[in-house]
Amino acid sequence: MTKQTFLKGAFILMVAGMVTKVLGVINKMVLARIIGEEGMGLYMMAYPTLLLTVTLTQLGLPVAISKMVAEAAALDDRRKIKRVLTVGFTIVGILSIVFTTLLMIGAPIFSQYLFTDERTLYPLMAIAPIIPIVGIASVVRGYFQGIQNMTPYAFSMVIEQIVRISLVAWFANLLLPHGIAYAAAGAMFSGVLGELASLLYMLWMFKIKKRIRVRKDFWRYLGKGKETFFQLMNIALPTTGSRLIGSFSYFLEPIVVANSLMLAGVSTVLSTKQYGELAGFAIPLLTMPSFITHSLHVSLVPTISEAAARNRMDIIHFRINQAMKIAMVAGGLSIVITYIFAEPLMDLMYHSPQSAIYVRVMAPFFILFYFQAPLAAVLQALDLAKAAMINSFIGAFVKIAAIFLLASRPELGIMGAALGYSIGVVLVTLLNLATVIKSVGFSLIVTDYIKGAFSCLATGVFATWCDRHLWMDLAVLPRTLALIGLAIGFYLLLIIISRLITKNEMAHLPVIGKWL
C-alpha cells in the first residue's frame, strides 16, 4: 500500500480535479448549446435531488471509513480493515435499495407539487440508477483515502467526466426531438454511465491493490461487525449531518427560488430560464477552482487526525495555515478573473453574456467559499462534526430565508436569490472559522492575507487596464484567453515575489519538487 504525504496527495487530487473541472465546463458548454437555458433550468432543478439522495446513500461513510482504515493500517490490522469494508458495503447496499425505491415513487410527486415545472419528472427518474453506484464507490473511495493513496480516486474522477462528455451530446441530441425534458433526462443519464465507469475502475484498482479478500467469510465478518457498525456511525452520522443539511438546502433552493419568483410576478418559463443562468452558469464559474479546496479537504482529514492523536498542535496549526493559504491563492485568482472577464466568459462558455451580472454581484462574497472545505475538514478530523453541522444548519436556514425574502420582491427578482446565496456562503465560512479558532487556538498569519489581498487587488487593476487597452482588434476567444493568461502570469509573479508560496512548499510536490 502506497502512502502519500499531505502535499503530494493533495497535489495529485488537485491535478485530477483541475482536469475534471475543465471537462465539466466543456460538458456544460456542450449541453447548454443543445438544450439552452430552459433545458439547463430543468437539469439544474433536478440536480439538487441527485445530491440529496447521494448524500443520504453515502451517509458520511467516505470520511468514517477513511479514518478507521487509517487507524487499522497503522497497526497493520487487516481483520479490522475487512470488518470496516464488510459493514460499509452492507450499509450502502441496504440504503441504495431504500432510496432508489423512494425516488422512483416520489419523483412524480416532487415534479407535480414541489417544483413549478412538471417536466422535471424525466430528469428526476433518470437519477435513480446512480444511487447504488455512488454508494459502492463511497466505500472503495474511503478505503483508498484511509491508506492515503489518492491516485485511484483521482483517476476515477477523470474517467467519470470523459465518459459523461462522450455520451452527453449523443443522449441529448437523440432525445431532443421528443422534447427538452427528455433531452435533460438524457444528459442526466450520461452522468449515471460516467459514474458507473468510474466505479468499475476503482473496483479494478481495489482488486489489484488490496491486501484482503472481502468476499471470503463475508457473512462471518458481518456477524462480528456490530461494534464496527457503531464505530462507523459515531463518525459518519455527525459528518453526514452537515452534508445532509447542505444537500437538503440545495434540494429546496430551486423550489424556493421558483415560488419566490412566482410571487414576484415572474412567469414559470422565465423563472426556469433565470434559475438556469444563475445555478447552471454563474455559480459553477465562481466555484470552478473548488477542486483545489476539495483536494485539501480529502487530504487534511487523515493528516489532522493523526496529528491530533499524537497531540501535535504545532502540526495542526501548520497544516491549517498551509491549507488556508493555498485556498486563498486559488480562490483569489479565480474571483479576480471571473469578475473582470465575466461577460466574455459567459458568452464564450454558454452564449449567455447576460449571466455576467450574477457573477459580478456574487464574486466579492464568494472568495470566502474557498475556505469552507479546509475548515470543514479540520472540524471533522477533530471530532467537531456536530459543531460544523450546527453551523451548516444556521447558514442554510439564513440562506433559504434570505432567498425567499429577497427574490420575492419584484424590484430584485432573481438577483435577490443571488444575494441570498452570497449571504449563506459568508455566514457558514465565518462560523466555521470561529469554531476552529475557539477549538485549537488557531490564529491566522495576517501577513499572508495582506499579501494575498494586495496581489488580488493589483491583479484586478492590471487586468482591467489590459481589458480596456490591449489587443482590441482580436476576436473574442483569443483575446480573452490572452488577457487571462497575462493576468495569471502577473498574479503568479506577485505571489512569488512576495513569497506567499515558498520554495520549500513547492519542493514537496511531485515532478515540480524533483525539478527544484
pLDDT tens digits, 31-62: 777 877 777 777 777 777 777 778 778 777 88
Q: With respect to residue 171, please indicate whether it lies within any of the assigned structural domains.
A: yes
Q: What percent of the chain has pLDDT over 90?
A: 14
Are 435 and 506 members of one domain?
Answer: no
First-to-final CA distance of the chain: 27
Cβ contact 289:334 at 8 Å: yes
Alpha-carbon separation of residue 414 from 9, 254, 258, 407, 424 (angstroms): 40, 11, 9, 6, 16
- Specify if 238 maps to a domain: yes
Same domain, 341 and 433: yes
**Among candidate residues 396, 413, 444, the one where a domain is terminated:** 444
Number of domains within the chain: 2
Does residue 242 belong to any structural domain of this protein?
yes
CB 163, CB 85: distance < 8 Å: no
pLDDT value at residue 4: 56
The 8-class DSSP code of residue 282 comes to: I
13 and 162, same domain (yes or no): yes
Instruction: Give 358-418 as a DSSP string.
Output: HHHHHHHHHGGGGGHHHHHHHHHHTT-HHHHHHHHHHHHHHHHHHHHHHHTSTTTTHHHHH
Residue where a domain stops, chosen among 444, 471, 490: 444
Higher pLDDT, 229 or 394: 394
pLDDT for residue 211: 64
pLDDT at 322 exceeding the cut of 60: yes
Mean pLDDT confidence for 452-465: 93
Q: Are residues 422 and 473 in the same domain?
A: no
Residues 240 and 218 reside in one and the same domain: yes
**Among residues 386, 412, 444, which one ends one of the domains?**
444
Domain check: are 454 and 316 in the same one? no
Residues 83-137: pLDDT tens digits? Answer: 888 888 888 888 888 888 888 887 888 777 777 677 778 888 887 888 888 888 8
500 and 453 within one domain? yes
pLDDT over 90 (residue 275):
no
Q: Are residues 384 and 454 in the same domain?
A: no
Distance CA 158, CA 194 (A): 10
Identify the band that residue 210 occupies on the pLDDT scale cut at 50, 70 and 90.
low
Q: What are phi and psi of 239, to 5 degrees?
A: -65, -45
For residues 64 and 239, give the distance between their C-alpha atoms in angstroms, rounded to a whole number: 8
376 and 458 co-located in one domain:
no
* For residues 61-83, average pLDDT: 77
Phi and psi torsions of 150, nearest 5°: -85, -5
Confidence grade of residue 505 (pLDDT, cut at 50, 70, 90): low
pLDDT value for 466? 92
Does any domain span residue 34?
Answer: yes
User: Which whole number is the average pLDDT over 350-370?
Assistant: 88
For residue 92, tell me if it sits in a domain.
yes
| Statement to judge: residues 370 and 452 lie in one domain | no
Mean pLDDT of 318-328: 85
Q: What is the pLDDT of residue 1?
A: 45
- The confidence score (pLDDT) of residue 102 equals 85
Residue 265, pLDDT > 70, answer yes
Q: Who wins on pLDDT, 148 or 435?
A: 435
Owning domain of residue 497: 445-516
Cell of 117: 415545472
- Model confidence at 511: pLDDT above 60: no
| CA–CA distance, 152 with 149 (Å, rounded to integer) | 7
Residue 457: pLDDT band (50, 70, 90) is: very high
- Which of the residue ranges 142-151, 296-305, 334-343 has the most confident prediction, judged by mean pLDDT? 334-343
As a whole number, the mean pLDDT across the chain is 82
- The pLDDT value recorded for residue 318 is 85
Label residue 210 left, alpha or beta by phi (over 0 means left) and psi (-120 to 50 means alpha).
beta
Do 401 and 481 lie in a common domain? no
Q: What is the DSSP letter of 177?
A: G
Residue 1 is assigned to a structural domain of this protein: no
Q: What's the confidence (pLDDT) of residue 223? A: 65
User: Do 359 and 286 meet the contact criterion of CB atoms below 8 Å apart?
Assistant: yes
Q: Is residue 176 part of a domain?
A: yes
Q: Kindly indicate the confidence band of residue 461, based on its pLDDT and cuts at 50, 70 and 90.
A: very high
Say yes or no to pLDDT of 506 above 80. no
Q: Are 185 and 230 in contact (CB under 8 A)?
A: no
Alpha-carbon dihedral angle through residues 394, 321, 61, 49, given to the nearest 10 degrees: 50
Based on the fold, state whether residues 492 and 387 are members of the same structural domain.
Answer: no
Has residue 62 been placed in a domain? Answer: yes
**pLDDT for res 285:** 84
Looking at per-residue pLDDT, the higher value among 370 and 516 belongs to: 370
